[in-house]
Amino acid sequence: MRRYLLSVIEPSVGDPPSPQELADIAADVAEFDRELREAGVWVFSGGLFPPATATVLRPKDGGALLSDGPFVEGKEHLGGFCVIDVEDLDEALEWAGKAMRATRLPIEVRPFR
């Protein structure tokens, strides 16, 4: 068994999908999540609020320096993720394909150490 992180790569610029499109996507993502659990590969999954809601801590003089906003401003950001346990990369890629079709967004697949 190997563990993989599937990251949903969301664009930071451009128009968001229409409410109807968003509703369709939400339904497809819920269905994908259900499928993951039924197949017994699901470890964890979740969607994230936008990067503007983030807070970053940096080590500073033995304490922490807090700052408002994301670690790096970019054209893309992490929109959500799931962690799965599967046999190998081919299986992970198959699930990533389903995630891509549900979210309509690029998915990054990375192995855990």
Partner 1 sequence: MSDPVEEAFREQYGRAVAVLVRLLGDIDLAEEAVQEAFAAAVEHWARNGPPSPAGWIITTARNRAVDRLRREAKREDRHREAALLFPGEAREEPPDRLRLIFTCCHPALSTAAQVPLTLRLLGGLSTTEIAHALLVPEATVAQRIVRAKQKIRDAGIPYRVPSGSQLPDRLQAVLAVIYLIFNEGYAASSGPRLIRDDLCTEAIRLGRLLHELLPGEPEATGLLALMLLTEARRAARTGSGGEQVLLRDQDRSRWDGGLIAEGHRLVRQCLDHGHPGPYQLQAAINAVHTDGPSTDWPQVLRLYDQLLHLSPTPVVALNRAVAVAEVAGPAAALDLVEALDLPRYHVFHVVRGDLLRRLGREPEAREAFRRAADLAGNDVQRSYLQARSSSER
Q: By the criterion CB under 8 A, which residues form the site for partner 1?
A: 2, 4, 87-90, 92-94, 109-111
Kindly give the pairing relationship between strand 76-86 and strand 63-68. unpaired
CB of 97 to partner 1, least distance (A): 10
Which lies closer to partner 1 via its Cβ, residue 73 or residue 88? 88
- 3: left (phi > 0), else alpha (psi -120 to 50), else beta? beta
Which lies closer to partner 1 via its Cβ, residue 31 or residue 94? 94
Which lies closer to partner 1 via its Cβ, residue 51 or residue 99? 99
Which lies closer to partner 1 via its Cβ, residue 36 or residue 84? 84
The token duo for 110 is 């990375």
CB of 88 to partner 1, least distance (A): 4
Q: Find tokens 């369709």 and name the residue.
A: 24
CB of 60 to partner 1, least distance (A): 33
Measure the CA–CA gap between 93 and 15, rounded to whole angstroms.
28
Residue 99 contacts residue 39 (beta carbons within 8 Å): no
CB of 23 to partner 1, least distance (A): 30
Residue 12 contacts residue 52 (beta carbons within 8 Å): no
